[in-house]
Amino acid sequence: MTLPSPILDDRSYAQLRDDLLRRIPVYNPQWTDHNASDPGITLIELFAYLGETLLFRFNQIPEATKLEFLRLLQIARRPPSPARGLLRMRPKTEVAAGTLVDPGAVAQAGAVAFETQLEVAVLPVEAIATCKSRVDPPDADAEPERFGELQRVIDALDGLASDEQAAPYEVVTVDLDGQAAPVDFDRAVDSMIWIALLADAKMDPAAVREQLATPVDGGPALLNLGFVPDLAAGPADEIDPCPGQGVGRPDPSLAWQISTGRIHQGKPIYASLRTAVDTTGGLEREGVLALELPGSLGDIGVFELDDDALAGAGEFPPVLDDEQEPRLVCWLRVFRTDGVGFGKVQWIGANATEVIAQRRANTVLLGVGDGQPGQELSLMHAPVIPGSLVLEVEEPEGWTAWTEVDGFHASGEDDRHFVVDPIGGKLRFGNGVQGRAPQQAERIRARSWLYGGGAEGNVAAGTIKKLGGFASILVDNPLPAWGGAPAETVAEALDRIPGELRRRDRCVARDDFRELAMQTPGADLGRAEVLARFHPPTRVEQAAGVVSVVVWPRVDAAHPSAPLPDRRTLRRVCEWLDARRLVTTELYVIPPRYVKIAVAVAIAIKPGYPIQGVRRWVELILRQYLAPLPPYGPEGRGWPLGDRVVAGKLEAAALQVEGVEYVRDLRIAIREGDEETGSWVEIVADPTASPPVEAVVGLRIDEVPELAEITVIEGPSALPPGEQIGAPTPDKTPVPVPIEREEC
């Protein structure tokens, strides 16, 4: 249902003219010449023309009137969302090492300002995260140069116990700039993340080690580590319920340790570290950890080995390259006490903090109360971040803090409440019955508030270059900022009115979940579907109390034909819906599952039509017909979840192309198994069976097709579907290597 524009008077020029002519005999019977040549008729036509113009303007509802409709319905426009990101720092000089950057420092990416959220002591270290990634079991005959030293390492460890076995590994390093492929720490032989702290190039590692062990303001020094997991979402059956239900997996218990440099009975000694701050949820999402470093220099060191065979063996840290080893200050390692791995990791860095594209306004006097109901005041900086305004009123007892609320429907006459319009930067007080009104001569001040937001905050990696007030600190953002979204337009807010009046910002019915998911600020969704009673971990379709919301991003450059939401999108939608669901609802926000299919079509082309052009159009039509996002799909809403793919429907879609006389042959294949070991299996129809069997690809309730390959030819029969991408690949790729010939 759309909101119609009210037409207050729809009469046209002809209707106005005729109406005036009909009135002549009533008011002036002597006027009998009603032809166009009469001067009086000319004046009537002029008034009719002017009247039509006035009515046209009268029917145009101005923007202020539309906003007044929203205000009367108490439906506020949604404010812009600020972008978020991670910022890393390093000192320019040795003198700047240890500089303390307080929360609220302003970093700049051109004209876009970001505010730091956590305190950072900028230490002269660089963090390199490594993984002891397992390799295939050793084959001494096939690769003697790789595994020839294995027995020597085992001997250096004084052999293996009866319950131990050798676990060959290779060192894999997380990219310092987060641009390379993520490292899979589920392949770590010891289920650990190893982090080497390296001194800046111009500093002595021993001096840096001493600085790390020096207390700051009577407390231990803090090391900030930024963490970003792989942003690609995993399978739906591995996604936990949205937070707040008490049934999801709790934050895992992490154990952080630091190398002491001491060795006891051939075993390295590590000291435990305490986590002071953790916004990563236990290394589950992007954020920052602050670790309390030991206050003793004896608990920070590097292991000195008498036998080089022990380097990287057992519980000893991995081996760095020759350029990094001289800069090594110490090693950090982290593991989960339950032995579970960390999955894939995109980036880990030292001296990191979270930043948000917002600014803080300082104390300002807004005005003086007059005791009238519904008083309004304006802030000088907008849009306002909801919930950030700290407001005080000077009452007889002194300055008193007031509370921001969504509305006065639950406010009493003595409740010190106020409402903020975040987009306009206006605040409103109660009427004395619902919410107290500031009395005569009571001064009103805003102690502080945050303002900003918008899509312009989604800056690219490496664009945040300046930190206000800290010329001796170098800063950059290793990954792009995310989450910024513009404010809701008036037209969007008006379109939202019917739904808001029905659901009142609550998720109860199926359409409530779908509509509110699409309105998630900053998510930029292209489609959302609701699966009632579908339980993703078990894929049970009749689980009581469960609601699963399947979401697609509007754009996915990595998978244009099969768009998938990333972890940030899933978490943002999850948090948005979780605050609006019923307490008895177990909510999941999941990505769609794709079933890869291949289609081969043979067509007959009408005489006079270009072969290449018709083939391209048939391919485009079939791709759009099977696409998951609107405005494509069978009905323009994307391919329906769980709807089977029938060869006959694809033939009907191909016949819509002008120039196709008929479809000679259409064949479908489905991909079974994974990308490496799977194969294409053709779905064969049997028209001779009773009843006839069609070529149909069945899909489960949370699945949609992904057109992995399509072949369109003009001929009597189609090529085998999946032939192009299903060809077997050799076990090893031959690489030409020149060999110098020996000369006598």
Q: Which residue has the tokens 């009866």?
A: 162
- 3-state SS, residue 121: strand
- Residue-level pLDDT at 721: 79
Q: Which residue has the tokens 């001491």?
A: 262
Question: Is the model more confident about 572 or about 62?
Answer: 572
| Vertex 553: Cα angle to 548 and 557 (nearest 5) | 140
Closest alpha carbon to 258 in 197, 314, 215, 319: 197
d(CA 93, CA 69): 59
Q: How confident is the model at residue 77 (pLDDT cuts 50, 70, 90)?
A: confident
As a whole number, mean pLDDT of residues 124-137 equals 87
Q: How confident is the model at residue 743 (pLDDT cuts 50, 70, 90)?
A: very low
Category of 522 on φ-ψ map: left (φ > 0), alpha (ψ -120 to 50) or beta: left
The region of weakest confidence among 316-330, 332-346, 427-441, 724-738 is: 724-738
- Residue-level pLDDT at 736: 41
Q: Which residue has the tokens 């570290």?
A: 273
Residue-wise DSSP of 528-569: EEEEET-BTTTTBS--TTEEEEEEEES--SS-SSS---BHHH
**677 contacts: CB under 8 Å, gap ≥ 6:** none
Question: How many alpha carbons lie under 13 Å from residue 252 in its C-beta half-sphere?
Answer: 17
**712 contacts: CB under 8 Å, gap ≥ 6:** 600, 601, 603, 615, 618, 619, 622
The angle, 0 to 180 degrees and rounded to 10, between the axes of the packed helices 490-503 and 510-518 is 160
Q: In which element (H, E) is residue 648 found?
A: helix 647-654
Strand 703-714 and strand 593-605: pairing?
parallel
Phi, psi of 172 (to 5 degrees): -120, 130
Strand 546-553 and strand 586-590: pairing?
parallel
| Vertex 96: Cα angle to 93 and 97 (nearest 5) | 95
Report percent pLDDT > 90 for the chain. Answer: 51
- Residue-level pLDDT at 86: 96
Burial readout 640-658 (b: 16 or more C-beta within 10 A, e: otherwise)? ebbeebebebbbebbeebe
The per-residue pLDDT of the chain, averaged, comes to 85
Strand 398-404 and strand 417-421: pairing?
parallel
Q: How confident is the model at residue 143 (pLDDT cuts 50, 70, 90)?
A: low
The neighbouring-strand residues paired with 421 are 426
As a whole number, mean pLDDT of residues 128-143 equals 71
d(CA 470, CA 105): 9
* Whether the bond into 720 is cis, omega within 30 of 0: no
Residue-wise DSSP of 394-451: EETTEEEEEEE-S-STT--TT--EEEEETTTTEEEE--SSSSPPPPTT-EEEEEEEEE
Q: In which element (H, E) is residue 17 found?
A: helix 13-27
As a whole number, mean pLDDT of residues 531-560 equals 91
- Residue-level pLDDT at 12: 87
Strand 525-532 and strand 546-553: pairing?
antiparallel
Q: H-type helices in 659-742, by residue range?
A: none
- Residue-level pLDDT at 430: 93
Q: Is the pLDDT of residue 392 over 70?
A: yes
- Residue-level pLDDT at 256: 93
CB atoms within 10 A of CB 728: 6
Q: Is the pLDDT of residue 132 over 50?
A: yes
Q: Are 669 and 719 in contact (CB under 8 A)?
A: no
Q: What is the pLDDT of residues 323-361, one digit of tens each?
A: 889 999 999 999 988 878 888 999 999 999 999 999 999
d(CA 528, CA 518): 6
Q: What is the pLDDT of residues 273-295, one digit of tens each?
A: 999 999 998 898 899 999 999 98
Q: What is the pLDDT of residues 680-689, one digit of tens each?
A: 888 887 776 6
| Vertex 633: Cα angle to 631 and 639 (nearest 5) | 120
The neighbouring-strand residues paired with 670 are 597, 681
Strand 254-264 and strand 703-714: pairing?
unpaired
Q: What is the pLDDT of residues 396-414, one digit of tens each?
A: 999 999 999 988 888 999 9
